[in-house]
Structure 1
Amino acid sequence: MLQINSINQYYGQSHILWDLSLKLKEGTCGCLIGRNGVGKTTLLKCITGILPVRDGAIEFNGETINKFSTETRARSGIGFVPQGREIFPLLTVEENLKISLGARKDKAKSIPAQIYELFPVLKEMKNRRGGDLSGGQQQQLAIGRALVLDPKLLILDEPTEGIQPNIVHDIGEVIRKLNRELGLTVLLVEQKLPFARRVADDFFIMEKGSVVANGPIADLNDDLVQRYLSV
């Protein structure tokens, strides 16, 4: 599904990603973890085309996408929920969701019913402005907006950050359903290990711009947590 081969990325003269490689199998949920500042968000932005890579290759469904624009990658089936949600606060919930319709391959003109089934609160509040929603509701809106694209791969950057516990639970249930019942491939950055263990099949630990350990989530043991994740 997604294969990253020895990519390097720079901010000016600062080398951020170092020969980073990663393979995410179709139909799985992978969790990218690591201390702050190790390059996790940068990697997601490279996958989605927001940032360029200096060299190496990013392959999606067997096709090298390095030169694809962000919009082309979205049309190819990559949905992205950025850190901080980045919804449009002055647009209604429904208008926020409809923005993604333009990137659908099938040119659908209406919001899929599945979005409101997954997030009933969005249907209840579809005429309210996005900025009037709570943080948890805005996160559900951001995920819903990405799902309107009908993606093959859903990428989420810290979906539980600053979210009340009951909404965290609901978001976890949605991710599990999308992945395990509907077969959607998921890659997320997550700092909360209990949440990661609950939703993910595999883990990828980043340190200094590289993936230094990976495997089934059951293999994320105390030694790895102490070595790479404890502050």
Structure 2
Amino acid sequence: MSLKYRDSVVLVGGGPLEAATFALVRDRADIFVAADGGADALLAMGVIPDAVIGDMDSLSAAGRAAIPADRLFEVTEQDSTDFDKALRAVETPLIYAVGFTGARLDHGLAALHVLARYGDRPVLLVGEQDVTVHLPARLALELPPGMRVSLFPLDAVTVGMAGLRWSFEALALHPMRKIGTSNEASGGMVSLTSDAPGVVLIVPTEALDAVETGLQSADLHSPQR
């Protein structure tokens, strides 16, 4: 199954979704896709999903009744999350993913796993406080001084950081040995590099525009390792 869209997509999961978080992305896209129970969250915001993807174990009966049947795309396998299923199915220039963090730690970790697994996809994971993206081979961001910049590795990755309070030409990160959280932007251009897939960038939601611009300019298909 492949759903192709020319415009950006807001992808909504079944986790908690604050109105303020949805407001951050609502006007950035014309297409709204739900991952299973995320359809109920969209309906609560007054939006009928353009598509619902998942195993449909979380979608309420009322939600199913409110959505045209031809917009429901059931994926019955149980070996992946609904976030994973949705990313596999949707082709679009940019995805704003909301409702995938904040409820349970295991769900949040699963979402990070999906980001890293599909690092060649243009996905911004937007939460109440943070914007998280998989770090491509190169990423440039314009950030104000003092803004928090965190890099968290899910695998062994060597990163480069310029324009930060603590900058490194090459820093080896590893989830068990060395992480790169709570750094700060010096003010101006921040340049980040990665020699392999497997590290996520986490910044405040105030940096959403900068991250969006940087991700759209990045070559997500550059070879890493």
Q: With the length of structure 2 as denominator, give the TM-score of the two structures.
A: 0.31
Q: With the length of structure 1 as denominator, give the TM-score of the two structures.
A: 0.31
Name whichever structure is richer in strand by fraction. 2
Which one scores higher on RCO, CA 8 angstroms, separation ≥ 6?
1
Name whichever structure is richer in helix by fraction. 1
